[in-house]
Structure 1
């Protein structure tokens, strides 16, 4: 018999079960069921951490955890849910139970299906949801291809690119980010706490955060956070990531996006990384064209469903 309960905090046993479920889903599907903010919440589950706006729905069959939903209510007008059903319990009504419970708690929630999981579309059709947004993962070199040499880095006139100075540059980065991504549902609204959280991550390397400064005004024009994913059983080599590139809207048209992207790619290549990924909105044709010219091609897609 299936039982369900919502928790904001969890026991150590609950947390262990949730993380084991997430690992089983990732191993079966080849993709995480949760985005990075949610993965941080899962890592903090049971130890008093995580965002206070996050709730967890646990679905058990007896003592076994067979389903989990994470409901992110940080933005009250845009609640976001991510779901995981144990691979051995799919097509047994667990996914439908999760969806119904989330919609009862947050009728306006939208759901992410990472890796465009085939089980998501039937659930969406059942309740009349539409495929509202795609987030592409692109990879260099493109799947099945050898890497082409990176173009030489050409920095625009009047611009200097240098690494982040921790403790000095964060306010400027936050200001540029929030202007550049004012439209973005996840990337907008950075605070000092958000940047401090990134700087506390095990992967953070200030030398891999590249800032473009106007040499005359000494104003920050843009930035590129790179990231390195450690090797895992499924990915035996470390993988670089173009984590986020932001350019101040007032500095658009100066070639800064391409220059900052290339600066980060050269930094990652100099560290010996042979593969680099990035995430980009599926309807951002200009950015996708730029990344393709740099040797990236799509190799996965995440889909957001909503009414």
Structure 2
């Protein structure tokens, strides 16, 4: 394309941290040497064996509607195909792309290249206000998490998310490392005897996760844990959850005063690999 040169990212380019940590990256330099856009890839394997290559990119406003976005996306898809061929993943391979509400050009680009919306995540916010504590189920106690809870928390998360698509849980050791460097005073766990029944993790102004073992679900444990965490925090908080509400989490959050403030959409399509 006349007017743009695609080249690898170099130290000193804008969007440095984002591109420096990517598996693959590319920038588009305009004739005057400034950066008109960039693209990158990161990948992971979901718990059901699907390998995902997430295409990320940006075109500055002055250079939009000139075909540069499509050029960057095509280059990113070609890079994903090369990486997949090198790694030979055992399961299906999907390309992914993100678009937020209002990013109509991005949606048009993705859908025009054959991507379809797979799911939507919503950011929710609750303003600072009092919250009545919900009763704990009989036989349940609550305490702060410890680093030694890492293994049990990981096994609980595996059970709670089992069978759900689009999930990629971190390994247990990464959870242990995270617990070791986090403020565990706002990470509460619920126990039934020696067994871990549920947890809620708050870091800063974000509720990072709420989880309940399937054997203890539908008994009010999630709401009891979350109301205690909100009361301890005392300020405005936010969280991210699935818009389609497969497990009732969004409904719970709305009952406790959370409101949707933005939506984040993931688009996907199968990666065609050369054989």
Question: Normalising to structure 1: TM-score of the pair?
Answer: 0.72
Superimposed CA distance per residue, residues 18-55 of structure 1 (whole angstroms, 9 cap, x where no aligned partner):
14xxxxxxxxxxxxxxxxxxxxx72xx65xxx47xx32
8 Å Cα contact 2:6/2:28 also seen in 1:
yes
8 Å Cα contact 2:24/2:79 also seen in 1:
no
Cα drift, residue 295 of structure 1 = 0.6
Note the aligned Cα RMSD (angstroms). Answer: 2.5
User: What is aligned with 1:213?
Assistant: 191
User: What is aligned with 1:177?
Assistant: 157
User: What is aligned with 1:296?
Assistant: 258
**CA distance in 2: counterparts of 1:5 and 1:67, whole angstroms:** 11
Task: Sort the Cα spacing of 1:268 and 1:94 in 2 relative to 1 into closer, same or farther, 3 A.
Answer: farther
Q: Is 2:111 aligned against 1:125?
A: yes
| 1:219-258 mapped onto 2 (5 Å cutoff) | 219-228=195-204, 240-258=205-223
Gaps of 5+ in 1: 20-40, 142-146, 229-239
Cα drift, residue 220 of structure 1 = 0.9
Task: Point out the more displaced range, 296-305 or 179-188.
Answer: 179-188
**CA distance in 2: counterparts of 1:79 and 1:210, whole angstroms:** 34
User: What is aligned with 1:61?
Assistant: 30
Task: Sort the Cα spacing of 1:154 and 1:281 in 2 relative to 1 into closer, same or farther, 3 A.
Answer: same
Q: Aligned pairs, how many? A: 249
Cα drift, residue 298 of structure 1 = 0.9
User: What is aligned with 2:126?
Assistant: 140
Q: Based on CA coordinates, which of the two structures has the bigger radius of gyration?
A: 2
Superimposed CA distance per residue, residues 153-194 of structure 1 (whole angstroms, 9 cap, x where no aligned partner):
42222111111112x111111111122123456653321343
8 Å Cα contact 1:181/1:188 also seen in 2:
no
**CA distance in 2: counterparts of 1:197 and 1:187, whole angstroms:** 20
**CA distance in 1: counterparts of 2:27 and 2:165, whole angstroms:** 26
User: What is aligned with 2:75?
Assistant: 101
Equivalent residue of 1:106, what SS? helix
User: What is aligned with 1:4?
Assistant: 6
Q: Is 2:4 aligned against 1:18?
A: no
Cα drift, residue 58 of structure 1 = 2.3
**CA distance in 2: counterparts of 1:173 and 1:281, whole angstroms:** 21
Cα drift, residue 282 of structure 1 = 1.0
User: What is aligned with 1:265?
Assistant: 230
Superimposed CA distance per residue, residues 113-138 of structure 1 (whole angstroms, 9 cap, x where no aligned partner):
13452222211232232222111111
**CA distance in 2: counterparts of 1:180 and 1:190, whole angstroms:** 14
| 1:76-91 mapped onto 2 (5 Å cutoff) | 77-91=51-65
8 Å Cα contact 1:116/1:303 also seen in 2:
no
**CA distance in 2: counterparts of 1:194 and 1:184, whole angstroms:** 21
User: What is aligned with 2:135?
Assistant: 154
> Normalized per residue, which structure has more strand?
2
Q: Which has the higher contact order (CA 8 A, sep 6+)?
A: 2
